[in-house]
Amino acid sequence: RKSQIRLKRLRDSNLVIIDDLMFMAMDQKEANLFFHLINDLYNSASIILTSNKGPSDWGELLGDPAITTAVLDRIVHRAEVIQLSGDSYRMKNRTSIFEEESVQN
């Protein structure tokens, strides 16, 4: 019941922000549910999506080329793609911890 209420709230939103998509691989069921969410939002909401993986990596992480194609088709159809490069802003002032000694296996 709680998950249905949350899903309705997402579907009724004007803006959905999905942060760190593809951080971890999805199983078949998760990928299918993700496709349905994107499909539901496609014509009704704006989506802001962040990922540290490029679209060419999504097939492996979603585990299904057909679902990957369908998701990307809907996401990039009317998208403004902003690609950032460089170090993470979270690490900007933390580089000194990596300059000390590296861990050797």
Burial class (CB in 10 A: 0-12, 13-18, 19+), 51: middle
Q: Is the dihedral of CA 49, 53, 59, 62 positive or negative?
A: negative
Tokens of 32: 């299918």
Query: Is residue 47 within 8 Å of residue 16, measured between CB atoms?
Result: yes
Return the percentage of the chain with pLDDT > 90, whole number. 32
pLDDT at residue 105 above 70? no
Length reported for the chain? 105
pLDDT in tens, 2-44: 888 998 999 999 999 999 887 788 888 999 999 999 999 998 9
Rounded to two decimals, what is the model's pTM?
0.73
Domains parsed from the chain with CATH numbers:
1-84 (3.40.50.300)
